[in-house]
Amino acid sequence: MDFARRGVLAGAAAAFGLLGPARPLIAAPLDKVRELGVLRVGLYNDNRPWSWEEGGRARGIDADLARAIAEALGVKADLAFFTADEDVSDDLRNVIWRGGLLGFRPCDLMMHAPFDMRFAAKEERVVFVAPYAREEFTAICSTQTKDCDMPPQRFVGKKVGAELDSIPDFYLMGSFGGILKSDVVHFPTGYEAAAAVQDGAVEMAVASRAEIEAALFDRPDLAARQRKSPLPMMMSDGWDIGMAVRDDSRSLGNAVEDIVAAMAEDGRLAALFARYGVTWQPAAATQVTA
């Protein structure tokens, strides 16, 4: 998953109320959503385990969470996949406040948006709400590696994997004096990079924790191990994942925040993540514990 294009921006976690100056409500989109009986939700395509299409049905953590939110609002979920653009600002424009140039209709809610006050301050047409998870990068190693927690530069001369043009890619290509540059094998997603370790195509891969946990969960018959200690010299210490609504849709945003907070408190959010083998970690912005 590309760190910039999929709304996964590292930085200091933003607290509620610190995402820019308050603006008066221009409309009441929550009432409109309920009147129409449909909540249109934008999901990143090919973003496993968060969202992907399988057998004509949207699957993943974000897809299931979107359905749960729609059910709590008493409406149907209209899940719309979109392809990541050059950066998350483009995604917000295409998905939330304008629509895509190729006819993609704007959504009421966008999943997997960054929850970072420095980024949010630059986006005037959207509001970031309901941080629902914390993510970070880690590594997965083959069983041939006796110690997955050894320094990554010890893998020099062996194949290591990462998603193309992602933070893990930049990390492996540029860190440690670039000694791993010729050993990096690129994959379309971090999930596929992690799965390549299980297939024996690479000996180690760097990806998000969720991608690695999901790959291990999906293929328990293929042995591999996850790194336990932090990656040295990694430029990101983790980030919060939230959602986005239009600036004039704060009534919807407030309702979504209440729903997600209730799901976190009663354990439903952790159970939803567990369906895909992912350990739910509360967003730093909320400090909610299950």
- Domains of the chain (ranges plus CATH)? 29-135+239-274 (3.40.190.10), 137-226 (3.40.190.10)
Rg, Å, the chain Cα set: 19
Percentage with pLDDT > 70 across the chain: 88
Q: Would you say residue 20 has pLDDT above 80?
A: no
Q: Would you say residue 254 has pLDDT above 70?
A: yes
Cis peptide before 168 (omega within 30 of 0): no
Section 76-100 average pLDDT: 90
Residue 101's pLDDT is what?
Answer: 64
pTM over 0.85: yes
Section 52-67 average pLDDT: 97
Report the range of poorest mean pLDDT among 11-20, 44-53, 119-128, 255-264.
11-20
Residue 44's pLDDT is what?
Answer: 96
207: its two tokens: 């990806």
List beta partners, residue 39. Answer: 77
**Cβ pair 61, 68 in contact under 8 A:** no
**Cβ pair 63, 56 in contact under 8 A:** no
Which amino acid does the sequence have at 68? A
Residue 286's pLDDT is what?
Answer: 76
Residue 154's pLDDT is what?
Answer: 95
CA distance 290 to 77: 26
Three-state secondary-structure class, residue 214: helix
pLDDT band at 138 (very low <50, low <70, confident <90, very high): very high
Q: Would you say residue 121 has pLDDT above 70?
A: yes
CA distance 105 to 85: 15
Section 96-112 average pLDDT: 85
What's the chain's length in residues?
290
Residue 195's pLDDT is what?
Answer: 97
pLDDT band at 86 (very low <50, low <70, confident <90, very high): confident
pLDDT digits (tens, 9 = 90+) for 62-72: 999 999 999 99
Q: What are phi and psi of 163, to 5 degrees?
A: -70, 140
CA distance 268 to 253: 20
pLDDT digits (tens, 9 = 90+) for 155-175: 999 999 999 999 999 999 999
Residue 22's pLDDT is what?
Answer: 39
> What count of Cα atoms within 13 Å lies in the side-chain half-sphere of residue 99?
7
Average pLDDT of the chain, as a whole number: 88
Residue the block writes with tokens 């043009």 = 165
Sign of CA dihedral 247, 45, 255, 35: positive
Q: Would you say residue 225 has pLDDT above 60?
A: yes
Section 187-210 average pLDDT: 97
Residue 182's pLDDT is what?
Answer: 97
Section 174-183 average pLDDT: 96
Of the candidates 139, 283, 131, 105, the one whose C-alpha atom is nearest the C-alpha of residue 209 is 139
Residue 23's pLDDT is what?
Answer: 40
Q: Would you say residue 19 has pLDDT above 60?
A: no
CA distance 215 to 193: 9
Three-state secondary-structure class, residue 107: coil
Return all residues near 241 (Cβ < 8 A) that are at least 6 apart: 7, 8, 112, 113, 114, 115, 131, 132, 133, 134, 135, 283
Residue 1's pLDDT is what?
Answer: 42
Three-state secondary-structure class, residue 262: helix
